[in-house]
Structure 1
Amino acid sequence: MKKSALLVFCLFLFAISNTFAQKFGYVDTEYVLSRMPEYKEAQAEIEKLARGWETEIQGMYKKVEEMEAALQAEEVLLTAEMSAERRQEIDREWKEVKEYQKQIFGFDGLYFLKKKELVKPVQDQVFEAVERVAKNNRLQIVFDKSGDLVMIYTDPIHDYTDYVLEELGLGENQESSN
């Protein structure tokens, strides 16, 4: 009797452990994004805007530096009051340039907002595809291999990157994403 009770108990534990077992996989979203033409276009647009803003800001810095050089060259000819006024003007210009640079490249600046505006829709497509792949493959957990999560070992059997590419209509993958 004890053996049959032990057998029933073991079967019960086995059934419970299988019920709570979770299936997982991982996706390399960085690789997926690099294969998407929309992402490449968004990145190119962002880089173009950034170069334009950098050129504009460099021009502003150069103008202020020229103002400083002119002040140094003429300072011996100026009264203390005139020199102080020019120094205040230069300091105000420096402040404006730095403020403008912060508005463009600072936290929540135009660069950040534009990047978010252009890249987010593409990222949303990837995350929706990941969700569909997860549901189709009954995955409870999907890790992003390209994120900050450190994975010491990954068995390629759990790599669902190609399924996400297929879900996005990006075709067969000739090279490995590992």
Structure 2
Amino acid sequence: MLKSLKIVLLFMVFISAAQAQKIGFVDSEYILNKHPDYKVVQEELQKQADVWKKEAQNLEQEISEMYKALKAEEVLLTEDMYKDRIQAIRDQEKAARAFNTRTFGVNGQYFQKQDELMTPLQSKIFDAIDKVAKRNGIGIMFDKAADLSMIYTNPIHDYSDFVIDELGIEENK
């Protein structure tokens, strides 16, 4: 009985504390798209991705040419020579898969580069969100663009434009 009373009292304290919190949200995707550095980051990342894609295409082209050469010379090759060529092609295919995994796979070079380029920008935005939240007395700030499902949001609680102002970004009208 005493334990359940403590739980009820504790629950009531949490509810009253939660009711006293001012809540707001931002749309980080909207903020990012307004930030001029984001376009620069996207362009730089795309340039690097294009270089890596070209390299991957070159590896695939080499493999294709190796298969064509094998097919053209197949009748002239001994069984051992044929097996050696097949093994060389398989080794090249393995190297191409390793390149793609190392470059575009989970935690690959592409994602590391993206993280490297985005971290400073994200830090600026998070600092601005922190300042806006403190200035407006907001206890809880949600991100509308995150995986959190927000079924309804009243625009009065949207602080995205305050964050854009804090970042010093001029509105293009």
Tell me which interval the TM-score lies in, with the shorter structure as reference length: 0.7 to 0.9
> Which residue of 1 is the match for residue 126 of structure 2?
127
Cα distance in 2 between the residues matched to 1:125 and 1:166: 12
**Which whole-Å CA distance do the structure 1 matches of 2:98 and 2:18 have between them?**
58
Equivalences, count: 160
The 3 A distance-change label for structure 1 pair 87 and 148 is same
Percent of counterpart pairs with the same letter? Answer: 47
Q: Distance in 1 between matches of 2:98 and 2:17?
A: 59
CA-to-partner distance for each residue in 1:98-126, whole Å, 9 max, x for gaps? Answer: 11111111112111111100011101110
Q: Which structure has the bigger radius of gyration? A: 1
Structure 2: stretches of 5+ with no match in the other structure = 1-11
Greater relative contact order, per chain length (Cα 8 Å cut-off, separation 6+) = 2
Distance change (3 Å), C-alpha of 1:19 and 1:121? closer
> Where in structure 2 are the equivalents of 1:22-33 lying within 5 Å?
22-33=21-32
TM-score, normalised with respect to structure 2: 0.87
For 2:163, the equivalent position in structure 1 comes to: 164
Q: TM-score, normalised by structure 1?
A: 0.85
User: What secondary structure sits across from 2:63 in the alignment?
Assistant: helix
- For residue 138 of structure 1, give the secondary structure of its aligned residue in structure 2: coil
Shift of residue 17, structure 1, vs aligned partner: 3.9
Contact 1:162 1:173 in 2 (8 A): no
Deviations 1:104-162 (A, max 9, x none): 11112111111100011101110110011000011011010111111111111100001
The residue aligned with 1:54 is 53
Structure 1 residue matching 2:125: 3-state secondary structure: helix
Equivalent residue, structure 2, for 1:9: none
Which residue is equivalent to 1:141?
140
Aligned residue runs from structure 1 range 48-127, under 5 A: 48-127=47-126
The alpha carbon displacement at 1:45 in A equals 0.1
Q: Secondary structure at the match of 2:169?
A: coil
Q: 1:20 and 1:78 mapped to 2: Cα distance?
A: 81
Instruction: Report the RMSD for the aligned CA atoms in angstroms.
Output: 1.8
Deviation, structure 1 residue 82: 0.6
